[in-house]
Every structure is written in structure tokens, then in C-alpha cells.
Amino acid sequence: MKKTAVLLYPLFSLQEIGALTELFKFYQREIVTFSAGREPVKSEDGFTILPDRDLTEFRREEFDSLVLPGIWEPLPVLLDDRIIRFLEQFRGDDGLLIAAISAGPLLLGRAGLLEGKRFTHGVFEEFLDAFPVMPRENTVRTYLVEDGNLITAYGGAFREFAAAVARKLGIDCPAQIFAPMAGKDYAEEDFIFHLPPEILPEARAFWDKCLEEAAQQSQ
């Protein structure tokens, strides 16, 4: 199975892609994180992540998708030519699904990946006035836009973004998998959880391994 590349940069929003990466984990899709320089990257949420690879280690044949999270302060990232050069290689690559949320589309805009594409974003208009890197005439004022191999979203639509990207990659999950819980009627049975039968043997084997290792450590 092909993998998903996740691009990390200073003050990226972990929260905006957390629902998506959780879906990938549950449905056993592998992600590989990339950054310019492979240095630890601190998210806007305060978590420090050690990326798996440097941008120079990206191998296109391994991946069918690329995810760009939002950014608390996008200008330093927008001015990082290493990131822009990395993205420029995907111009005209319709076989790679590119998913960007919130301020992530800014990077695509500077790299020329939004030409002829409809998209949305969560960037302040004053920032766009100062740094007009995205073709505003292609902007659709809504929470999520799909156009061919491109999916973009406003940051508050992280649930819808996660479901749209997952479903585009063939993951059979409900479109409203992360719908808000409040305001609905529930039965007790709705909060009884079971592992899927196809996963249960693997889970039990893992539990046994953990118990065995714990027993060995306690000796």
C-alpha cells in the first residue's frame, strides 16, 4: 500500500490534522512525516515532533498523498525556499492527492499548485493583501473544496477534512465519522465498543507480547 506524506514546519497545527491521522492509524495507513532539515518541529499546540525524514529523502513512488497542516504564523514558512522547491515538483502531478487545511494552501499557492484549481482556506484577508500568493479568483468561500486531486479546507472543518481525505484514498468511513456528539439521543449500546473480528487475533497477540515483556522486566 502507498503511504501518506505529512509536511511539518514551525508552528504547524497538529489539531487540524489530528482527526485525519487518527483515521489513518485506525485503518492502518502508514504516514511518514517530513520537514526541511529534519530538525525537531514544535507545533502551535506546543508539541515537539521529530520528523521521520528530510525533504530530500522523499521518494515519489512510495506515496499517493501529501498533507499540509495549517500554520499559526505562516510567513516564515512561506519564505522558506526549501519547502517551496519541494512542493514545486508536484506541478501537474495529478496522481498525487494533495490535502491542505487552513493556511496550508498558502504554500501551494506560492509553489504554483493552485493555478486552475478551485480551493478554500482560512487565511486573514489582510495577510493576502500583503502577500498575494494565491489566485483569489479561484477561491470558493466555503468550509471544504474538492477539485480533482486537491482537497482544501477551512481550519474549523478539520472533521470534514479528515473524512474527505480518507474517503478519497479509499478508506470506507462514514462522511460524518467525527460529527459533534451534543444534541443527539443515544442508547447505552452506542457506548459499548468491540474490536473488528479481523483485528482481534492481532490485538490478542500484541497483548500477550506486552504481558510477556512486562513479566520479564519484573524478574
Q: Residue 25, exposed/middle/buried by CB under 10 A (0-12, 13-18, 19+)?
A: exposed
Task: Encode pLDDT of 107-124 as tens digits.
Answer: 999 999 999 999 999 999
Task: Encode pLDDT of 89-98 as tens digits.
Answer: 999 999 999 9
CA atoms within 13 A on the CB side of 121: 26
Q: What is the CATH number of domain 3-168?
A: 3.40.50.880
Question: From residue 196, how far is each of 186, 188, 209, 211 by CA, in Å?
Answer: 22, 19, 20, 22
Contacts of 51 (CB under 8 A, 6+ apart): 8, 33, 34, 35, 38, 39, 40, 41
User: What phi and psi, each to the nearest 5 degrees, are found at residue 173?
Assistant: -120, 155
Task: Encode pLDDT of 18-55 as tens digits.
Answer: 999 999 998 999 999 999 988 899 999 999 999 999 99
CB 17, CB 67: distance < 8 Å: yes
